Amino acid sequence: PVVRASAEYIAEMRKYSRPVAEQWADAEPTADGESGSAQSLVEALGRVQELGAEGADEQAVLAPRQSTLTGEAGVESAYVRPRPPVYLRDCLAYLRDRAEGSERVEVALFALAGCVERANVKAVEELWVQLANKVLYTYNRGPDRLDAAWDAARQRALVALAVRLPQQMGPYLADRSCDRNLTLADRELVLSAIGTACLRLSGRESEGSGIEDVTDEQGSQGVPDSAGTVVRRSRRLDIAARRPAPSADPAQRAYAGLAGPAFFLPLAAQFGRSDTSAQASDVRGDAGQLARYVDVLGVILYSAPAATHQLAMARAFLGLVRLVQRLPARTGEARPVLDALLFGIDALLTPGRALSTPTLAREFGGELGGVLRWIGALLERGLLGESAAAAHAARIVERLREIQADVGRRVASSDFDRYTSII
């Protein structure tokens, strides 16, 4: 309750704030023997009782300490929004808050990516496992309109962790991409985080770009004008052109040695893992998930043209292409799956990569011949149509013809002419 007191009462009470001995020393005796100060004190106490009973004094000069927030409408509210955390340990403490209706989890999740980018390496190495697990298994319990922003914040946090610790987070995310304990949407979020982290580490990610932009850019180039012609080139010039320009960013230079063992090879090993592990989901059962899975593998190939483990990556991807070709038509021949497969083969055969044409012909002659026959069968059946996959197929055939002309390991020339005319 608000204590109301008049200025006159306060001035009267200030006289009695001195020690009692001084008050009685200054008191003057009255006719009835009582001191004036004592009589004044009695009168003051009587006024206090009257004020407490009436409570109608308009001259209020004392008020209680404000302990609540007041909105624009003057309505008092005890709500205070949690302050965004600055350190990783604070983020983890917020994420562990299990109170119903608490906003600490939301505040921490939206601030986690920035905290990871600012934190020192020692703190990230100490807390990355706990943070990654919390991000993966933290779901939106608020309004449904926050679902999209919530998933975007989760993906940003996983990407930030993967960029800071690629050797640890790469295999971790690859293992979670087929985790049966995660929903299908969560697995796609993990795959998107892997692709985005690889693009950022390679320096190929611009503001607002993502995996879809990379595949669209590769597929929008159309059929090359030189398709079906033999190009004579100097091997010395080809080697010089394939030599990657030195990067000023140490992280980009290190990515060439990390793309294979940290991201591509662990992710490629997840195909068919459900046959040996009860905790793994079968990526072959859903065409959409399979297309996303193969698409991310293609993005990794695209982002690492000078990868140290290029030979192992090419062998794993071409082996994956053979396995997908054996799947039922409803999965293996779905349009998104074909687009992803041809995008990956196109990225693998792009001139300027670490693998030379003699190496491709010597190591993968049989696989490349099988790819050529497979593309021809798809075109004859009209499964590619006017899509990005047709542009990828055109570039693949052109590149295979260049390999044929360079090293003399020929597939039948009539097959090349036939398939090129179809394209």
Do residues 271 and 293 make contact, with C-beta atoms less than 8 angstroms apart?
yes
pLDDT score recorded for residue 50:
56
CA dist 196 and 200 (Å) reads: 6
User: Which residue do the tokens 């990868």 mark?
Assistant: 307
CA dist 44 and 122 (Å) reads: 68
pLDDT score recorded for residue 6:
67
Local confidence pLDDT in tens for the 423 residues of the chain: 445 556 676 666 666 665 555 555 555 555 555 555 556 655 655 654 555 545 444 444 443 444 344 444 444 445 567 788 888 999 999 988 876 666 888 889 999 999 999 999 999 999 999 999 999 988 877 677 778 888 999 999 999 999 999 999 999 999 999 888 888 889 999 999 999 999 999 888 753 444 555 555 555 554 444 444 444 455 555 555 555 555 546 666 788 888 999 999 999 999 878 777 777 777 887 888 899 999 999 999 999 888 888 999 999 999 999 999 988 888 888 889 999 999 999 999 887 777 887 888 888 888 888 898 999 898 888 888 777 888 899 999 888 888 877 765 444 555 555 555 544
Q: Show the tokens assigned to 350.
A: 């792009």
Task: Indicate the pTM of the whole model.
Answer: 0.70
Q: Give, in order, the Cα–Cα distances in Å from 25 to each of 45, 228, 321, 331.
A: 21, 120, 107, 105
CA dist 365 and 358 (Å) reads: 10
Closest among 1, 7, 19, 9 to 45, alpha carbons compared: 9
Do residues 281 and 328 make contact, with C-beta atoms less than 8 angstroms apart?
no
Phi and psi for 29 in degrees, rounded to 5? -70, 145
Per DSSP, the residues of 91-124 read HHHHHT---TT-SHHHHHHHHHHHHHHHS-HHHH
Question: Residue type at 125?
Answer: E
